[in-house]
A and B are shown apart, each in its own frame.
Chain A
């Protein structure tokens, strides 16, 4: 009599525990998509920032006509002079600007210029902070119109539009 009474309380405790633990296991295994949801938001923020920086760099401060009939943007000048380091420095400087105490993770990037030469599409690495391995990166792009009077040895000598792609990641 005494033995069975004791066992019954224990068994019920164990049964309740198993019930709770099973529920939690099920619940936690379904909510693991929490992580991708988070990174999606970070991707969105980084992509927006990258696009903003390229757009800001693609407008000259004032309208000046240096014999072209239009104002050359800093971005156009970087590509025409093939000045990758200058581009990278400006890009990172703008990327670090904040107002609040926000902790800005360091941004790394690889910038690639894609251009057309006859029937071929060629690319070359314009500038990069370090090699890309397996980080979670976003890609932002900007069309840049280049004047035929440029000093970039990669490009044909003609007026053309090239694609600047920047692969961006944190860390």
Chain B
């Protein structure tokens, strides 16, 4: 009777091989999905557009209100207060040096956007 068991085992063996194959295939696919997901998440998580927009707005404020400090302070306060409430991001803008500090809990970013006292001022463009 023992030989009968041996005969049928190749069916189970094939089933086993196929299972292992599928498992490894799934492992590979899973890995590549993770790559795509983390790329997209990294892009979405990093506030690239927020920072670009903020830089742009600092340029706008600098060019429009550079000669009227009182107006300048009000507009900077608009940005600081609104971004705290609507974007959960701490924004500090220091006029004169035009230094920007941005912190949304994950990303911490500081940059001197434009320093008019720097003789190589075109460096900032």
Q: Which residues of A contact B (CB under 8 A)?
A: 4-5, 8-9, 11-13, 15-17, 19-20, 22-24, 26-27, 30-31, 33-34, 36-37, 40-41, 43-44, 47-48, 51, 55, 58, 68-70, 114-116, 121, 140-143, 145, 158-163, 165
Given A12-B8, A23-B23, A114-B82, the answer on whether A145 and B60 have CB atoms closer than 8 Å is yes
Q: Mark B18-54, 1 if CB is under 8 A from A, else 0.
A: 1110110110011001101100110110000110111
The answer to whether A116 touches B33, judged by C-beta atoms less than 8 angstroms apart, is no
Q: Is B116 an interface residue (CB 8 A)?
A: no
Q: Which residues of B contact A141 (CB under 8 A)?
A: 49-50, 53, 86-87
Cβ contact of B5, chosen from A8, A70, A162, cutoff 8 A: A8
A48 to B44, CA, bound (A): 9
Minimum CB–CB distance for B89 against chain A, Å: 10
Q: If A31-B30, A31-B33 touch, does A159 touch B65 (CB 8 Å cutoff)? A: yes
Which chain B positions have C-beta within 8 A of A51?
49, 52-53
Q: Is B57 an interface residue (CB 8 A)?
A: yes
25 contacts between A and B (CB under 8 A): A11-B8, A12-B11, A17-B15, A19-B15, A23-B19, A23-B20, A23-B23, A24-B22, A31-B30, A34-B33, A37-B34, A40-B41, A55-B56, A70-B63, A115-B78, A116-B77, A116-B82, A121-B85, A141-B50, A143-B54, A145-B57, A145-B75, A160-B74, A160-B75, A161-B61
The secondary structure that dominates the B interface is helix
Residues of chain B having any CB pair with chain A under 8 Å: 1, 4-5, 7-9, 11-12, 14-16, 18-20, 22-23, 25-26, 29-30, 33-34, 36-37, 40-41, 43-44, 49-50, 52-54, 56-57, 60-61, 63-65, 71, 74-75, 77-79, 81-83, 85-87
Partner of A20 from the list B15, B49, B50, B53 (CB cut-off 8 Å) is B15
CB distance from B112 to the nearest CB of A (A): 19
Cα-based distance from A158 to B1 in the complex (angstroms): 98
**Known contacts A31-B30, A33-B37, A115-B78; can you find 15 more A-B pairs with CB under 8 A?**
A8-B8, A15-B12, A16-B12, A16-B15, A19-B12, A20-B19, A37-B34, A43-B44, A51-B53, A55-B53, A70-B60, A70-B63, A116-B77, A141-B49, A143-B53
B81: A residues at CB distance < 8 A = 116, 121
Nearest Cβ distance between residue A63 and chain B, in whole angstroms?
A: 11
Chain B min CB distance to A158 (Å): 7
- Evaluate contact between A162 and B78: CB separation under 8 angstroms: yes
Interface centre among B16, B19, B74, B77 (most CB of A within 10 A): B19
Task: Give 4 closest A-B pairs by Cβ, nearest first.
Answer: A16-B15, A40-B40, A23-B19, A12-B8
